[in-house]
Amino acid sequence: MSVAEKVDEVTQPVNKSLIRQTWNMMAGDSKNGVDLMALLFQIAPESKKEFTRLGDVSPENIPNNRKLNGHGITLWYALTSFVDQLDSPNDLEDLCRKFAVNHVARGVLDVRFGWIKEPLAKLLRRNCGNCDEAIQAWWELIDVICAVVKENKMSVAEKIEEATQSDNKSLIRETWEMIAGDRKNGVELMALLFEMAPESKKEFRRLGDISPENIPNNRKLNGHGITLWYALTSFVDQLDNKNDLEDLCRKFAVNHVSRGVLNVKFGWIKEPLAELLRRKCGSRCEDRHINAWWKLIDVICAILEEQK
């Protein structure tokens, strides 16, 4: 099941209600996050090796371990933020992705993060009594994070396989046919990148003045935007040929690695691309079209991850 499908599942009314009913019973005490960590170490002792940076996590030392207490409280705040966004699937997914990226960076994969399920179930029973249905709902929320973590560690070949599925190719092509003819869309995409991810500007100092009012007159930026559009054209052209698509993406990625643009930075293009698609395609562009494009972007991100 995809991340989007898992988000859709956990945000069904019945699941949201079950999660909130139990959360309201225990949300006020952030120390529950510390208890959750203690239960993790007790129920899944193999998890301790993932937390060596926290020092002594033996049961008798947990009350005195400030690093562990801080981590537990931070975990509790994270759970709070997930519950707060149950009515907004897009914001919930964004939060889960940010949370997952921090764990992937430390080598915590989906199986390891899944260790938290049984400890969470035990904590819920302690605080809320018999709540098996709510536990299943909570586990579906944890599954969203596991799915994001797994997605982030998918191999390049797996990412290409996903991007070139028949349905995915059709969704990309449906929108591409509406916008491909105007290469100036590449310049608009760059402008949206600077607007929506202003931290990206420092990666393009070589292009000179990229302020909104100067973009129409900035020949270097216009050239870069048009080159980007040609690159997207070449990716779409090779959707039926996995090997050629991979070769093109690798060549494109190498050019970015040489400038210090790694997977997280390249991922900044996703939201601007989504905005461009919505602007140009209107109601004919749905979330499923955007997700299809993001899978193509993820191929490049996966290659950049390899190059680290």
Quick check: helix, strand or coil at residue 102? helix
Say what the pLDDT of residue 111 is. Answer: 67
Quick check: helix, strand or coil at residue 108? coil
Say what the pLDDT of residue 260 is. Answer: 63
Q: How far apart are CA 250 and CA 256, in angstroms?
A: 10
Looking up tokens 């979330």, which residue turns up?
Answer: 287
CA-based end-to-end distance of the chain: 28
Question: What's the CATH code, domain 156-307?
Answer: 1.10.490.10
Say what the pLDDT of residue 41 is. Answer: 95
Q: How far apart are CA 73 and CA 2, in angstroms?
A: 30
pLDDT in tens, the chain (308 residues): 788 889 999 999 999 999 999 999 999 999 999 999 999 999 999 888 888 888 899 999 999 999 999 999 999 999 999 999 999 999 998 888 888 766 765 656 666 788 999 999 999 999 999 999 999 999 999 999 888 877 766 678 888 999 999 999 999 999 999 999 999 999 999 999 999 888 888 888 898 999 999 999 999 999 999 999 999 999 999 999 999 999 988 888 877 666 666 555 778 899 999 999 999 999 999 999 999 999 999 898 888 777 65
Per the CB < 8 A criterion, the answer to whether 156 and 306 are in contact is: yes
Q: How far apart are CA 104 and CA 111, in angstroms?
A: 12
Say what the pLDDT of residue 258 is. Answer: 60
Per the CB < 8 A criterion, the answer to whether 149 and 48 are in contact is: no
CA distances from residue 15 to 8, 56, 129, 137 in whole angstroms, order as listed: 10, 37, 18, 5
Say what the pLDDT of residue 253 is. Answer: 81
Residue among 99, 76, 278 at smallest CA distance from 175:
278
Q: According to CATH, where is 1.10.490.10 located in the chain?
A: 3-152, 156-307
- Helical axes 287-307 vs 156-163, angle rounded to 10°: 160
At the topology level, CATH places domain 3-152 in Globin-like (1.10.490)
pTM: 0.56
